[in-house]
Chain A
Amino acid sequence: MPDPLLTLEGVHTHIGRYHILQGVDFEVPRGSFTVLLGRNGAGKTTTLRTIMGLWKASQGNIRFAGQDMTARPTPEIAAAGIAYIPENMSVFSGLTVRENLLLAARAGKIDATRLEWIFSLFPAMQRFFGSAAGTLSGGQKQMLAIARALIEPRDLILVDEPTKGLAPAIVANMIKAFREVKNAGATVLLVEQNFMAAKMLGDAVAVMDDGRIVHRGAMAELAADHALQHRLLGLHMDAHQ
């Protein structure tokens, strides 16, 4: 089996005096779509932020594409090929949609073919290309945040709860877009609370609780095992649809 693209080994993270991650172990195989599940406050966002170097791991190590990333500064981690779509989207509201994408394109210019692709995934991006991102709706901001991660090919895309607070139609659009991203061969690590979305997209799954990984396996396995879902996620039968 080839080396996984991303590996976390015994990662601990402290925020101030709080010990948040308490030994996180998991890996993201190249080309896979891995979903990270877990209840509120389990440490999912902290895990992604630690991978990006936005919090420093106090112990353990993080390897990406064969290199040790643990102590690297954030810009270097990003430059190594990781795109990050944070929980709060963090689009630059004073910049136009075009300027947001332009900044994410480190080549200094936007590749026309990729832009066409993004417009086909999210037509609103074309419509509001010249508008300030601050004037977009919540769903459109989320699309822009995703578009920013897609404007150039990246080895790994980290996404934190992209469907949070969005209307079902927009969630469906989002899922469709991620399917295409997946088919295009990208490696994705998705944090998601919406189990239905997670089930439709994920190949592999990891479940967190209290700053640790409590389950790792194939998504198909978890999707089929309602008792396991109930135990890990507290989901009831009627929440499956």
Chain B
Amino acid sequence: MTDRTAEREETALASPPIDWIPILIPVAVALIALPLIGSFSTWVTLTVAALAMGMIIFIMASGLTLVFGLMDVINFGHGVFISVGAYMSLLVLRPLTGWVESPSLALNIGVLVLCILVAMAVSGMFGLVFERLIIRPVYRQHLKQILVTMGGLIIIEQLLHVFFGGSPITIALPQNFRGGLAIGPDMIVERYRLIAVVIGVAVFLAMMLVLNRTRIGLLVRAGVENPEMVEALGYRIRRLFVGVFAAGSALAGLGGVMWGFYQQTLTIGMGLQVLVLIFIVVIIGGLGSIGGCLIGSLLVALVANYTAFLEPKIALISNIALMLVVLMWRPQGLYPVVKV
């Protein structure tokens, strides 16, 4: 028995250390920005906004990185599931205006949850169809994937156009999520941003739980490294991929709902607009890495928010610059996934 305990301890000691450096980078960026910005309360506002935006981007990007890692598929269509998700919230918000305007917190939460469920269900279903009709015929052909998934994106955008019209649509946040919350003297953060952070953290934890504690998660992690060996162990990687693709599309839909409320305006092109940021995040994080995706999202959002305040002129190129710097340091991204 004592022997066993000794073994355990040795095992624990032998566990690989976490690579902390990438985790420390966003923290360092935030600390460096503080003296540049000057005002503490402005810095808090910008940082909270960035955390909210970062978590939303993470939700939208997580599916894409797994799809890329697992099957080496470049899906430019991913952005449209964001738009689909955002527009699906209209199906809930329009009939339930009463819930949105109600002072009852329960009804407010209820309407948000309904928006999320409908958006995830519909964009997940679109994902299944998209995989079947558009992705499947072009496996292993990157150039065709780019062209064909772009085509798919345009088709679905046009469908949204037909059903919802082309002009931007304003949406209102549920009553209790509006306005700011004083968290200190002179310091107000918008409530919805805090909610976005909470939802983002919950999604991240749920994903980590699935990836690390379930058999499916184990298969996904193994498949990202070496799909061929997963097949040689007797598992159908295709089936796994279809599941991951649908889940990734549903998460993009969830991100779309949250992004829509964040901006309180829906446009059909909103998904395509954030897609550039999402690709930067996926590349910075390391293709196929969920941890890298989270750090990359936060980093991109922090840099975007700080530069927009400090030097609006360079805000547009700041994320491209960030990507170049990261890739010069780690060409495979922050957390390279070992590929065979």
Are chains A and B native binding partners rather than an unrelated pairing? yes
On chain A, the residues within 8 Å of B235 by CB distance are: 75
Contact A90 B229 (CB under 8 A): yes
Query: Beta-carbon contacts of A107-124 to B below 8 Å, as 1s and 0s?
Result: 010000000000000000
Contact A127 B225 (CB under 8 A): no
With CB as the reference atom, state the residue of chain A lying closest to B234. A78
B175 contacts chain A at the CB level, 8 A cutoff: no
| Bound: A79/B230 CA distance, A | 12
B232 contacts chain A at the CB level, 8 A cutoff: yes
The segment out of A34-42, A61-69, A128-136, A228-236 that lies at the interface is A128-136
B15 contacts chain A at the CB level, 8 A cutoff: yes
Q: How many residues of B contact A (CB 8 A)?
A: 27
The segment out of A17-25, A91-99, A168-176 that lies at the interface is A91-99
On chain A, the residues within 8 Å of B226 by CB distance are: 90, 92
| Bound: A147/B232 CA distance, A | 15
| Bound: A130/B11 CA distance, A | 6
Interface size range on A against B: 20 to 34
B21 contacts chain A at the CB level, 8 A cutoff: no
On chain B, the residues within 8 Å of A92 by CB distance are: 221-222, 225-226, 229
A54 contacts chain B at the CB level, 8 A cutoff: yes
On chain A, the residues within 8 Å of B10 by CB distance are: 127
With CB as the reference atom, state the residue of chain B lying closest to A131. B14
Query: Beta-carbon contacts of B225-244 to A below 8 Å, as 1s and 0s?
Result: 11011111111110000000
Q: Which of A84, A106, A130 contacts B232 (CB 8 A)?
A: A84
| Bound: A73/B222 CA distance, A | 19
Contact B231 A134 (CB under 8 A): no
On chain B, the residues within 8 Å of A95 by CB distance are: 218, 221-222, 225
CB contact under 8 A between A86 and B232, given known A135-B14, A135-B16 = yes
CB distance from B222 to the nearest CB of A (A): 4
On chain A, the residues within 8 Å of B230 by CB distance are: 103
B183 contacts chain A at the CB level, 8 A cutoff: no
CB distance from B66 to the nearest CB of A (A): 13
Chain A contacts with B in 51-89, Cβ cutoff 8 A = 52, 54, 73-75, 78-79, 84, 86, 88
Contact A127 B232 (CB under 8 A): no
Contact B11 A103 (CB under 8 A): no
Q: List the count of A-B residue pairs having beta carbons below 8 Å apart.
A: 80
B23 contacts chain A at the CB level, 8 A cutoff: no
Contact B222 A131 (CB under 8 A): no
With CB as the reference atom, state the residue of chain A lying closest to B340. A90
On chain A, the residues within 8 Å of B340 by CB distance are: 88, 90
Chain B contacts with A in 259-299, Cβ cutoff 8 A = none
A223 contacts chain B at the CB level, 8 A cutoff: no
Contact B338 A103 (CB under 8 A): no
Contact A128 B14 (CB under 8 A): yes
Contact B234 A79 (CB under 8 A): yes
B219 contacts chain A at the CB level, 8 A cutoff: yes
CB contact under 8 A between A103 and B14, given known A92-B221, A95-B222 = no
Contact B11 A104 (CB under 8 A): no
On chain B, the residues within 8 Å of A126 by CB distance are: 7
Residues of chain B touching chain A, judged by Cβ–Cβ distance below 8 Å, are: 7, 10-12, 14-16, 215, 218-219, 221-222, 225-226, 228-237, 337-338, 340
Q: Can you name 4 extra interface pairs (CB under 8 A) apart from A130-B14, A132-B15? A: A75-B235, A78-B232, A86-B229, A103-B219
Residues of chain A touching chain B, judged by Cβ–Cβ distance below 8 Å, are: 52, 54, 73-75, 78-79, 84, 86, 88, 90, 92-95, 99, 102-104, 106, 108, 126-132, 134-135, 148
A-B pairs with lowest CB-CB distance, top 9: A78-B234, A130-B11, A90-B229, A74-B231, A131-B14, A79-B234, A92-B222, A132-B16, A93-B338
Q: Sample 20 A-B pairs with CB under 8 A, ordered by A number.
A: A54-B228, A75-B236, A78-B233, A86-B232, A90-B229, A94-B225, A94-B337, A99-B218, A103-B222, A104-B233, A106-B233, A106-B234, A127-B7, A127-B10, A127-B14, A129-B7, A130-B14, A131-B16, A134-B16, A134-B338
